[in-house]
Chain A
Amino acid sequence: MTSLPQPGAKKLGLVIDLDTCVGCQACATNCKEWNTSGHMAPLPDRNPYSAGAEGVWFNRVHAYEAGDGEDGRTVHFPRSCLHCETPACVTVCPTGASYKRAEDGIVLVNTDMCIGCQLCAWACPYGAREFDDDAGVMKKCTLCVDRIYNEHIPEKQRQPACVTTCPANARHFGDLGDSSSAVSQLVAERGGFELMPELGYKPVNRYLPPRRAPKADAGPPKDAGPLPSQISNPLLRWVDKVLSR
């Protein structure tokens, strides 16, 4: 059914910290590694070892510059499915292959029903869906639905592959529908935001803003006192040194 389910209380999603992401691509790599044999496997690659290499990835890490001068920042920006609350990618699907799970809000594709019309990719503002030319069906992030409920792996590992692998701890997974969850509190604390809210898709995933760099030169300039070398009295020079710390 591509009609949306009644919105559930549970909204599983990711919180991505743009302050600490270092753009190492580990999340994209581990995503590819897990998912090419996971729920929506395989994730094909064309010409993987030569010019013109391209393939299906669920996670793409961009890098941007924002602002100018000393306020300017370099920001690494992972982009993946936001598991929207009102995903038009689901409602446009003519076959029922695309669906949003009532129990946790995960947006998935049943690749056995997909006809490969690609209308869902057009309907997604965020570029979360990539077409598998080999299988003729659409593929997308599963939020590692085959890890997070998987009782065959240790409990600590029941997290999306991108989250477990992030060396900067910039990715967090949890229930954004529960205001007391760790991820919800992180979003509240840090002022997490959603992408392109003006399109009205109500993404579940949140991004945490890069922290503002502390002003190197806050307040009026300090009194230009004498340089230590200009203080001839050793005791006073020592006092100046201590007080200047």
Chain B
Amino acid sequence: MNPAPSIIFFTVASGAGYGLLFWVGLLRPLGLVPASAGFGALAIGVALVLVMLGLLSSTAHLGRPERIWRALSQWRSSWLSREGVAAVATFAPAGLFFVGVIGGGGGFTAPMGLLAAIGATTTVYCTGMIYASLRPIRQWHHPLVTPGYLLFAAFSGAALLALFAAFWGAAAVPAAIAAVLGAAAFILKRAYWRSVDAAPPVATMETATGLGFIGKVRPLDPPHTETNYLLREMAFRIGRVHARRLRHVAALAGFAVPAALLALALPLGGTLAGGLFIFAATGLALVGLLAERWLMFAEATHTVALYYGQDPRA
């Protein structure tokens, strides 16, 4: 599948934003992050900016972005529509949470924080299901795809929260959470790759053409000599060498090294070194996630490529 930069940036940025919103909404009522208005405003503000930048970026993928409001209508059947509804709905409690935190944190602040956390989880779940519900793409139609989207969002959000909390000298809880989630994300992504590498193709040239009863099917003449939309969008190929290298970048820079840095930052407490470790971990995690998301597209194979003779194993 074609790795469109607008969608890669969208899912990474809004994933991190929703992850951050989730953890502030959950940890602030529990008193596990600084309760000051300044900290709350920074964390929730950055979360909402990331979410909005992400959503804005996603509209760059649309042919007719001015009609985007129509996408809220088909939530009965469409995960994309559900994602839109959940994203819009989450702005209400998130906005009130922001207002409440600035106003001293009393009254409705804690319930709004928890509602925002639920909304953030729901939105990211819908994002994952958009991909996981597509049967022609076996690398997406996989039971670990949606858990992956949720886990990676929670991980990058917790890392960002640890980064902000470090300025208040109170990064211990979010850093510990991020370290555990980073390790979990590393394990999940490795398990996912092992699984998709071993799984059989969802269909073959023989079943795609129905000609398997004659024997092995080979392409003879393509229907067109130049490229077309289908080939550009759904038959994207990358060199295997690059895929393997990028997998290392994603797994190590994205998950393993940040998890280790966050764990190392824990005993350093509120020192400058601890803060720098968290800063490096957060930066690496976001870069690694961009690589992970690029691979999520670039490595995905679509059944339409079978008609053009692409090996379903490749």
Binding site for B on A (CB under 8 A): 1-4, 18, 23, 28, 51-57, 60-68, 71-75, 77, 79, 88, 90-97, 113-119, 121-127, 130-133, 135-138, 193-200, 207, 209-210
Q: Which of A53, A115, A199 contacts B202 (CB 8 A)?
A: A199
Type the 1/0 row for B270-314, where 1 means its CB is closer than 8 Å to any CB of A: 000000000000000000000000000000001110011000000
CA distance A93 to B79 in the complex (A): 9
Contacts of B130 in A (CB 8 A): 92, 119
CB <8 Å contact, B80 and A54: no
Query: Is the beta-carbon distance between A71 and B234 smaller than 8 angstroms?
Result: no
> In whole angstroms, what is the CA distance A126 to B305 when docked?
9
CB-CB under 8 A from B268, the residues of chain A are: none
Beyond A93-B77, A95-B74, A198-B202, 9 additional pairs, beta carbon < 8 A:
A18-B211, A72-B214, A115-B67, A116-B64, A122-B233, A127-B230, A133-B63, A198-B203, A199-B202
Which of the segments B116-124, B161-169, B221-229, B245-253 contacts the partner chain? B221-229
Contact B80 A60 (CB under 8 A): no
Q: What is the distance, in angstroms, from A56's C-beta to the closest C-beta of chain B?
A: 7
Q: Are the C-beta atoms of A95 and B73 separated by less than 8 Å?
A: yes
> Are the C-beta atoms of B203 and A123 separated by less than 8 Å?
no
Chain B, residue nearest A88 (CB): B135
The proximity string for B residues 243-268 relative to A, scoring 1 for CB distances below 8 Å and 0 otherwise, is 00000000000000000000000000
Supply 6 A–B pairs (Cβ within 8 Å), ascending by A: A54-B226, A57-B224, A73-B211, A75-B214, A113-B67, A126-B304
Our pick among B65, B133, B137, B212 for the contact of A115 (Cβ within 8 Å) is B65
Contacts of A67 on B, CB cut-off 8 Å? Answer: 214-216
Question: Which residues of B pack against A, CB within 8 Å?
Answer: 1, 61-65, 67-68, 70-74, 76-81, 84, 130, 133-137, 202-203, 205, 207-224, 226-230, 233-234, 302-304, 307-308
A94 to B72, CA, bound (A): 7
Contacts of A197 in B (CB 8 A): 207
Q: B277 to chain A: closest CB distance in Å?
A: 40
Q: Which residues of A contact B218 (CB under 8 A)?
A: 64-66
Are B234 and A121 neighbours in the complex by a CB distance under 8 Å?
yes
Q: How far is the CA of A210 from the CA of B210 in the complex (A)?
A: 10
Q: A56-B229, A114-B64, A136-B63 are contacts. A95–B133 as well, Cβ < 8 Å?
A: no
Which of A2, A28, A207 is B78 in contact with, Cβ under 8 Å?
Answer: A2
Residue contact B135 to A199, C-beta cutoff 8 Å: yes
Contact of A96 (CB < 8 Å), options: B65, B74, B208: B74
**Docked-complex contact B220 and A68, CB < 8 angstroms:** no
B62:A117 contact, CB within 8 angstroms: yes
A130 touches B229 (CB 8 A): yes
Knowing A71-B215, A88-B134, A125-B203 are in contact, say whether A3-B77 is a contact too (CB < 8 A). yes
CB closest residue in chain A, given B130: A119
Q: Which of A66, A117, A133, A137 contacts B80 (CB 8 A)?
A: A117
**4 A-B pairs with the lowest CB-CB distances in the bound complex, closest first:** A116-B63, A136-B63, A67-B215, A127-B304
Residue of A nearest to B300 (CB): A122
* Complex Cα gap A92–B132 (Å): 12
**A90 closest partner in B (C-beta):** B77
Nearest-CB distance from A210 to chain B (Å)?
7
- What residues of chain B lie closer than 8 Å to A96, measured between beta carbons? 70, 73-74
Q: Are B216 and A95 in touch, CB under 8 angstroms?
A: no
| A200 partner residues in chain B, CB cutoff 8 A | 135
Interface centre among A2, A66, A67, A96 (most CB of B within 10 A): A66
Give Cα distance in the complex from A135 to B49, angstroms: 31
* A66/B214 in contact, CB under 8 A: yes
In the assembled complex, the Cα of A188 lies from the Cα of B281 at a distance in Å of 64
On whether the beta carbons of A94 and B234 are closer than 8 Å, the reply is no
Q: Is the pair A73, B214 in contact by a Cβ cutoff of 8 Å?
A: yes
In the complex, residue of chain B having the shortest beta-carbon distance to the beta carbon of A210: B214
User: Is the CB–CB distance between B64 and A121 below 8 Å?
Assistant: no
Distance from B33 Cβ to chain A, minimum over Cβ atoms (Å):
35
Kindly report which residue of chain B lies nearest to residue A200, judged by CB atoms.
B135
Which of these, A61, A90, A135, A195, contacts B208 with CB under 8 Å?
Answer: A195
CA distance A119 to B78 in the complex (A): 10
CA distance A91 to B77 in the complex (A): 5
- Smallest distance from the beta carbon of A150 to chain B beta carbons, Å? 28
In the complex, which of the residues A18, A114, A198 contacts B63, with contact meaning CB atoms closer than 8 Å? A114
Q: Is the CB of B215 within 8 A of A68?
A: yes
A197 CA / B206 CA spacing, docked (Å): 12
Cβ contact of B68, chosen from A28, A53, A115, A138, cutoff 8 A: A115
Q: How far is the CA of A23 from the CA of B220 in the complex (A)?
A: 12
